[in-house]
Chain A
Amino acid sequence: MIRVVLPPHLRNLAQVAGAVELDVQGVATAQSVLDALESRYPVLRGAIRDQTTHQRRALVRFFACEQDLSLDPPDTPLPDDVATGREPFLIIGAMAGG
């Protein structure tokens, strides 16, 4: 089980409170976590990454275990603490604009 923390706008959009808990098949990567997230909440398709290219949106970042994972290739295995659910996978909207 992997825990994903969404930014407030996306929690509202997906109508969830707190962290989302996901079962991810195979190796836990940013890509497999987002695949599972978008499968459970189709309204989030396109809100975090491009629907077609899967490129991360410009003002969205990924963090976990005090590390910025945003620039890692999307098939990079996530830290063990994330894969085992001890630490959440954080999806963050950049602090920019008004």
Chain B
Amino acid sequence: MSGVRVLVGTHKGAFVLTSDARRRQWEISGPHFGGWEVYHVKGSPADPDRLYASQNTGWFGQVIQRSNDGGKTWQAMDGKFAYDGEPGTHKWYDGTSRPFEFKRIWHLEPSLNDRDTVYAGAEDAALFRSQDGGESWHELPSLRQHTTAPDWAPGAGGMCLHTIILDPKHPDRIFVAISAAGAFRSDDGGKSWRPINRGLKSEGIPDPNAEVGHCVHRIAMHPSRPDVLFMQKHWDVMRTDDAGESWREVSGNLPSDFGFPIDVHAHEPETIYVVPIKSDSEHVPPDGKLRVYRSRTGGNEWEALTNGLPQSNCYVNVLRDAMAVDSLDSSGVYFGTTGGQVYASADAGDSWAPIVRDLPAVLSVEVQTLK
């Protein structure tokens, strides 16, 4: 029977939420890895029972957990993360140079066709890959060794590689995004990289042609059209139709174009979702109203989706990895908040209901469609 499995990473552990295709009754398991920050949990497209989770604390460091049974049981992997060769330096907030120092894994991106291959995005920004199911990890160092890397600087959340997108039509093409360096693309499986930030404009960067320095919050792609990417930048919602060669703004009539997550409808490549946030200094929804905005035109024209979401006195945030879509016939949309709610819509955003209301602060939400 078809259904969905929602994988939730929180400030204090991971949770697995499951339902049949109606998405009305939910079974909730967790917390897994209680007390640890779980930045991300994601399943393998090649084997939906294979899950990976990033578990971390400032006390004891980074652990990768693996499940072979859809999150019922987990195994901690021994493999650790080490930069390949000299770490090099990047810019600190005050403009001084500081060595790259591994802190945590923000994002795990399993291969599209091999359950044992998985990519990991690190803070300080680097891309790692495991080809043995997370048991050992090796950096793809040319990204961190890019000529622009000494000028990369952290965003407020740290200098994190938070977005990894594997191109389903061009197997050697990988997109990544780093706060606050920008977006990068490899066309040779991660051997070499180049910035793809033309068209981005960022306050505080006077050079309109600046190659790096942009605080990209999230990028999303529809698998049927991998040359079209949508970006929620620090400010501005952006779009490219040529795999990042050039970007244009599609913020249109949004009440605020600041925000973190962005995602694409599973069956409609021009339907996209964002959650506007008032400003970079306040990090709360405008007017205390939690609203998802949907564009059915690939940007510029946006409608507020409010049915079932709190429309007064709501001051939660939705973080960059905390939105996902399922691919059931009536596509579902999910997001989690820093207030611990996970909301689900089984009708593409027209109406919403909370799956859970009182989890720890939600750091990430992923969905697996089980068929």
Contact = CB atoms under 8 A, between A and B. Distances in A.
**B and A form one assembly:** yes
Interface in B10-59: 34-36, 57-59
A19 B82 CA distance: 30
B78 A93 contact: no
A57 B80 contact: no
A7 B35 CA distance: 12
Given A9-B35, A9-B36, A43 B60 contact: no
B63 A45 contact: no
Nearest to A41: B78
Given A51-B82, A52-B82, A43 B61 contact: no
A10 B36 CA distance: 11
A36 to B, nearest CB: 16
Contact of B59 (A51, A52, A57): A57
B211 to A, nearest CB: 32
B76 interface: yes
A48 interface: yes
Chain B: interface size category:
10 to 19
A46 interface: yes
Contacts of A47: 60-61, 63
A84 B37 CA distance: 37
B60 A51 contact: no
A57 B35 contact: no
Contacts of B61: 46-47, 57
B245 to A, nearest CB: 39
B62 interface: yes
A54 to B, nearest CB: 13
A94 interface: yes
A45 B80 contact: yes
Interface of A: 7-10, 12-13, 42-43, 45-48, 51-52, 57-60, 93-94, 97
Give the top 3 A-B pairs by smallest Cβ distance, nearest first.
Answer: A42-B78, A47-B60, A59-B59
